[in-house]
Amino acid sequence: MRPLALGAPGVVSAFGIGVEAFDDAMRRGDKGFRAEVTAFAQPEGPLSVAEVANFDPRPVLGDKGLRNHDRITRLALVAARRCLEAAAIKREGAFVAPFTGEAVGVVSATAYASIEAVTELDRVARLEDPRYLNPGRFPNTVTNSASGYVSIWEGLKAFNVAVTNGPTSGLDVFDAASMYLADGRAEAALVGGVEALSEGLWRGFDRVGMLDRGDGKGARLGEGAAFFAVETLDRARRRGVTPGLVVSGYGSTFAAPDDTARLVTPSAEALREAIGLALETAGCRADAVSLVIDGTNGYEAHDAVEAQALGALLPGASRVSPKMALGETLGAAGSLALVEARRRVAAGHRGPILVTALGYYGNASALVCQGPENLA
Amino acid sequence: MVERVFITGCGVVSSLGLGREAFWSAAVAGRSGFSPVEGFDAAPLGRTVAAQVKGFNARDFLSARECTQAGRAASFAIAAARMAVDDAGLAARSLETPRASVIFGTTMGEADVIARLDHAWIDRGPEALSPRVLPKYAPHMAPMLVARHLKTRGRVLTLPAACAAGNYALGFGFDLLRSGAADVVIAGATEMLQDLQYAGFVRLGAVAPTRCQPFDRDRQGLIVGEGSAVFVLETERHALARGATRLAEIGGYGLACDGYHITRPHPEGSGNVHAMREAIRRSGVTPAEVDFINAHGTGTRANDEVEARVIETVFAGRKVPVTSVKSMIGHCMGASSALEALTCVETLQSELYPPTMHYENPDPLCPLDVVANTARRGPARIVLNNALAFGGYDAVLCLAQPDVLPPPSERGS
Chain A nearest-CA residue for B181: A1
CB B155 to CB A252 under 8 A? yes
The whole-number average pLDDT for the span A56-72 is: 96
CB B338 within 8 A of CB B166: yes
Q: Across all residues in chain B, what is the average pLDDT? A: 96
- Phi and psi torsions of B233, nearest 5°: -110, 140
State the burial class of residue B245 (Cβ atoms within 10 Å of its Cβ: 0-12, 13-18, 19+): middle
State residue B412's pLDDT score.
77
CA A162 – CA B392 distance, rounded (Å): 12
Chain B nearest-CA residue for A159: B256
The whole-number average pLDDT for the span B97-105 is: 97
CB A129 to CB B44 under 8 A? yes
State residue A375's pLDDT score.
64
Shortest alpha-carbon distance between residue A168 and chain B (Å): 10
Task: Give residue B363's pLDDT band: very low, low, confident or very high (50, 70, 90).
Answer: very high
CA B35 – CA A132 distance, rounded (Å): 25
State residue A111's pLDDT score.
96
The answer to whether domain B251-402 has CATH 1.10.150.120 is no
Specify the CATH number for B5-241; select among 3.90.1150.10, 2.40.50.140, 3.40.47.10, 1.10.287.40: 3.40.47.10
Strand residues in chain A grouped as ranges (E): 4-13, 16-17, 90-91, 94-95, 104-109, 160-163, 188-195, 224-232, 245-254, 291-293, 318-320, 353-358, 363-370
Mutating which of A72, A142, A154, A206 best tests the B interface, going by the most B Cβ atoms within 10 A? A142
CA B351 – CA B354 distance, rounded (Å): 10
Instruction: Kindly calculate the radius of gyration of chain A based on its CA atoms and give it in whole angstroms.
Output: 20
Q: How many domains does chain A have?
A: 1
Condensed to tens digits (0 to 9), the pLDDT of residues B68-94 reads 999 999 999 999 999 999 999 999 899
The whole-number average pLDDT for the span B375-390 is: 98
CA A237 – CA B206 distance, rounded (Å): 48
Q: Which residues in chain A have their CB less than 8 angstroms from residue B205's CB?
A: 135
Query: Does a structural domain hold residue A214?
Result: no
Query: Does a structural domain hold residue A28?
Result: no
Among A132-136, B25-29, B214-218, which stretch is predicted with the lowest mean pLDDT?
A132-136
State residue A214's pLDDT score.
84
Task: Give residue B331's pLDDT band: very low, low, confident or very high (50, 70, 90).
Answer: very high
The whole-number average pLDDT for the span B308-316 is: 97
CB B196 to CB A118 under 8 A? yes
Asked if A321 has any chain B CB less than 8 Å from its own CB, the reply is: no
A296 vs A216, higher pLDDT:
A296
b/e code B26-36 from CB counts within 10 Å (16+ = b): bbbebebbbee
Condensed to tens digits (0 to 9), the pLDDT of residues B197-207 reads 999 999 999 99
Q: What is the location of CATH 3.40.47.10 in chain B?
A: 5-241, 251-402
Condensed to tens digits (0 to 9), the pLDDT of residues B41-51 reads 999 999 999 99
Per annotation, catalytic residue among B149, B266, B274, B296: B296
State residue A5's pLDDT score.
98
* ipTM of predicted complex: 0.97
CA B324 – CA B396 distance, rounded (Å): 14
b/e code B149-175 from CB counts within 10 Å (16+ = b): bbebbbbbbbbbbbbbbbbbbbbbbbb
Q: Which domain holds residue A317?
A: 245-371
DSSP annotation of B209 reads S
Q: Which CATH number does the domain housing residue A292 bear?
A: 3.40.47.10
Percent of chain A at pLDDT exceeding 90: 93
Condensed to tens digits (0 to 9), the pLDDT of residues B241-278 reads 999 999 999 999 999 999 999 999 999 999 999 999 99
CB A256 to CB B106 under 8 A? no
Across the interface, of A101, A130, A148, the residue whose CB is closest to B199 is: A130
Query: What amino acid is encoded at A76 in this protein?
Result: A
State the count of interchain CB pairs (< 8 A) between A and B. Answer: 246
> Is residue A374 over pLDDT 70?
no
Task: Give residue B413's pLDDT band: very low, low, confident or very high (50, 70, 90).
Answer: confident
Closest Cα partner for B253 from B411, B397, B388? B397
Condensed to tens digits (0 to 9), the pLDDT of residues B214-231 reads 999 999 999 999 999 999
A149 vs B2, higher pLDDT:
A149
Condensed to tens digits (0 to 9), the pLDDT of residues B169-208 reads 999 999 999 999 999 999 999 999 999 999 999 999 999 9
The whole-number average pLDDT for the span A357-374 is: 93
> Is residue B274 among the annotated active site residues?
no
> Is residue B57 over pLDDT 70?
yes
DSSP annotation of A218 reads S
> Is residue A376 over pLDDT 60?
no
> What residues form DSSP beta bridges with B101?
B185
The whole-number average pLDDT for the span B359-365 is: 97
> Is residue B119 among the annotated active site residues?
no
> Is residue B266 among the annotated active site residues?
no
Condensed to tens digits (0 to 9), the pLDDT of residues A139-183 reads 999 999 999 999 999 999 999 999 999 999 999 999 999 999 999
Task: Kindly report the pTM of this predicted structure.
Answer: 0.97
> Is residue A115 over pLDDT 60?
yes
CA A139 – CA A129 distance, rounded (Å): 18
CB B390 to CB A145 under 8 A? yes
